[in-house]
Structure 1
Amino acid sequence: MKRNIVQVFTLVWLLLLSVTVLAQGEAFTPVRNAIRGGSSRELSQHFGSTVELSFDGDKQSYSATQAEFVMKDFFAKNAPAGFDFVHYGGSNEGTPYAVGKYVSKTGAYRMFVKMKSDRGTLVIDTIDFTKE
């Protein structure tokens, strides 16, 4: 009897975990599409009021409008040739994040995107590009 309860609990836990990971992946779908298209305008639709952008360790915090222009400049200099998220996760507090690989003609970058909840909506809090 005890063994059955443990098995049922484990199964339910795994199902909930898989649903959480799928939901996190879905939250990043429009972000992925905007990055693939090199569209700073589409990407900015998912920015919080402030966004931390980091390029090879040089971090700065920007307003959503400023961050849009910074990303527009980045995409102009490093037009996307390929992009996809390779890992989705969440912190213990439930903050979703994704790690991806951004490829341009000038090189490849590991990309980290962290979201946060703002009035019940997930918005981009941090984007970090690290040249590989």
Structure 2
Amino acid sequence: MKPTFLQTLVLAWLMLLSVVVQAQGEAFVAVGGAIRSGSSKDLAQYFGSSVELGFNGDKQSYSATQAEFVMKDFFSKNPQASFDFNHYLNGPEGTKLGVGKYKSKNGVYDVYVKMKQDHGTLVVDAIDFTKGEE
């Protein structure tokens, strides 16, 4: 049985889609690893010059250095049990969004990480932790 043009087109589209999803995921591997290990120092390596951090709706912009200390405080108060990204989305102007779950000994947080292009490199522009349910 010969493949039809439509079958070939669908297969090519699915292969392209899997490559795009994989590329998005790779942009978040190091950031996810830093969050997973609870390392503000490792996470700060991927911060832009300023970072918006949000905790349960309270959002504030910080310099990269300040944001590192804020994340260190968060990780010390909410020791990680696990973290994984569940979804990746493309935003306008090359921004990328990763959505995940951070499980700590004090509860579960929905996590949104926004990355943007800065001189050809993806950097963390915003992180939002919202306490949710398991």
TM-score normalised per structure 2: 0.89
Aligned position for 1:11: 11
Give the letter aligned to residue 78 of structure 1: N
Structure 2 unaligned residues grouped into runs of 5+: none
Aligned position for 2:106: 106
Aligned position for 2:97: 97
Distance of aligned partners of 1:14 and 1:92 in 2 relative to their CA distance in 1, 3 Å threshold: farther
SS state at 1:67 partner: helix
Aligned position for 2:86: 86
**Partners of 1:72 and 1:105 in 2: how far apart?**
16
**Partners of 1:64 and 1:7 in 2: how far apart?**
49
Matches within 5 A, 1:23-102: 23-102=23-102
Give the letter aligned to residue 118 of structure 1: D
Is 2:121 the counterpart of 1:121? yes
**Residue-by-residue CA offset, 1:11-33 (whole Å, 9 max, x unaligned):** 33332221111011011111111
SS state at 1:82 partner: strand
Name the Cα RMSD after superposition: 1.6
Shift of 1:94: 3.6
TM-score normalised per structure 1: 0.90
Shift of 1:6: 4.9
Q: How many residue pairs get matched?
A: 130
**Partners of 1:118 and 1:93 in 2: how far apart?**
11
Shift of 1:5: 5.1
**Partners of 1:124 and 1:50 in 2: how far apart?**
9
